[in-house]
Chains A and B, each alone.
Chain A
């Protein structure tokens, strides 16, 4: 059953605005910072501390039933050149699915380096690994997570690979026993993008 749409506003968006929209009358209100629509996808940016409350509302509302936790991912906007609605450096995007309406909603929270995001593991146990991955790749910590440790990189790894300032190659590679493997940078290997970027003689196509 598709999600009901009244006056071009989806039921879930309308309910969220009713409950959490900003009109300044109640302290619990004003949790929504921005609502964006792009090619039929709804993306709602919310206040970071209101995240568990909103997710719980979406999950428990009998008309919505956003019970399927699809995933969450991080984005580093430090080299973004276009206008944005929020100033913070990182965004964490949550992807929830309602198996009642087969609709999907994207919730976003924005944080700066060092700020914590409340963990969704008490609500959706499936948030465990994706949140660990976001921490591993971006260094965003999740408050209340049962085990905030790296997941894909080894425990001794330094840095967070998906931050924009982290280089694609060129580091020395350490092996057990104090030996070091071939450092890519020492053999003058260009970054993958450099091999063709901006070499066409016309406009700068790479942009970074």
Chain B
């Protein structure tokens, strides 16, 4: 941190006491987080309580700020990709895809059908994995421990599949501008088919522990209401918006990666409470399973990468025979790719809502501006509206229902 000369540390260091203006006389201000286990990371919430009722709420973020947007301006397009995994680390493939689509829009590049199907496959697996983590931690917050173990076993199977692709469980960086880093590995198809056959039953097992559980229903039904109008004005997207009755899903409304070819529906509910968000996400997992079944059944053959040699490195065997291929290879790995001057923003439907990267290119190998629209950042703003007037124990349920990832909020 840079300081102005002559300042003593205690003068500029942040005041660690709550910065909430008290509304009432007989109220109490208490602090929750940033080391509270149910805040899902380093979120700090300052609450003003009148008895047990919340009359004021303020979220403090930024504890995980690592300057990724600044860093992105100093990395070339292929290197900046690896940072996107670390934003929403529970659904790295979705971030990769959002970033990649923006770069491809700058380049005006098309990806062959097989590449698109594999991208859909990876992002839908990501969505299931992300919702699995949400289900496990959300139920853990509410005192139910068993679903956590059930569903994390299933998530582990998905991470193993990512490992088959890329060698990495959580940060694959497998979707790159121009296509993918490689084709589907041997044995992946049978593994995915087995998973798709077994997973729905396992999901029912975990879901059955909560869906009609009287304690879970008492803690979640009617809690955390927010109207659809408020959601839209606050920029809340994803399952939280769909639980409020707005059937907006970017996969349907503005299809990318050939989503228009797949049969699936958008689950919506109308009560807009914590329980409904649970229902929407459970239904979304089932829709993702449907999409995955279609991708594996209808997977086209052919190349998975664009043949634009200015963007995608040539295959290894070409390097032995073609001088041009060696030059392209060398140029891509030393200089990177340089899209023409322009701006691009391609939003996709991530597990948490609309995620997109606003990229501005000045014609060089590094983005002039590298900006992400993190869904959790916008969704978390709704916390105050959802919590006011509720009991203090509901805060934990509501934070869980928004499904935030602080790595993405703070960047």
Q: Mark A102-129, 1 if CB is under 8 A from B, else 0.
A: 1010100000000000000001111011
B48 within 8 A of A: no
Asked if B373 and A95 make an inter-chain contact with CB atoms under 8 angstroms apart, the answer reads: yes
CB contact between B336 and one of A69, A75, A176, A205 (< 8 Å): that residue: A205
Chain A residues with Cβ below 8 Å from B347 are 70, 104
Asked if B343 and A176 make an inter-chain contact with CB atoms under 8 angstroms apart, the answer reads: no
Q: Chain A interface: which of B8-16, B166-174, B256-264? A: B8-16
- Docked pose: A22 CA to B403 CA in angstroms: 46
Output the least CB separation between B18 and chain A (Å): 13
Output the least CB separation between B64 and chain A (Å): 9
Chain B residues with Cβ below 8 Å from A38 are 342-344
- Docked pose: A196 CA to B69 CA in angstroms: 20
Chain B residues with Cβ below 8 Å from A205 are 335-336, 338, 364-365
Q: Mark A62-81, 1 if CB is under 8 A from B, else 0.
A: 00000111110101000011
Asked if B14 and A156 make an inter-chain contact with CB atoms under 8 angstroms apart, the answer reads: yes
- Docked pose: A193 CA to B75 CA in angstroms: 6
Output the least CB separation between A72 and chain B (Å): 10
A9 within 8 A of B: no
- Docked pose: A59 CA to B354 CA in angstroms: 20
Residue of A nearest to B334 (CB): A200
Residue of A nearest to B66 (CB): A152
A171 within 8 A of B: yes
CB contact between B1 and one of A156, A200, A202 (< 8 Å): that residue: A156
Chain A positions within 8 Å of B, measured between CB atoms, are: 38-39, 41, 43, 67-71, 73, 75, 80-82, 93, 95, 99, 102, 104, 106, 123-126, 128-130, 137, 150-159, 161-162, 166, 168, 171-178, 191-193, 196, 199-200, 202, 205-208
Beyond A130-B235, A171-B2, A175-B9: 19 further Cβ-contacts under 8 Å? A67-B232, A70-B373, A75-B360, A82-B341, A99-B246, A126-B235, A126-B381, A128-B381, A156-B11, A157-B1, A161-B67, A162-B70, A173-B1, A174-B1, A178-B9, A192-B71, A202-B335, A205-B335, A205-B338
23 A–B contacts, CB within 8 A, in A order: A39-B344, A68-B235, A69-B232, A73-B369, A73-B373, A75-B369, A93-B358, A99-B232, A99-B248, A124-B234, A126-B236, A130-B377, A152-B410, A156-B3, A156-B14, A162-B69, A174-B3, A176-B10, A192-B75, A193-B366, A200-B334, A205-B336, A208-B364
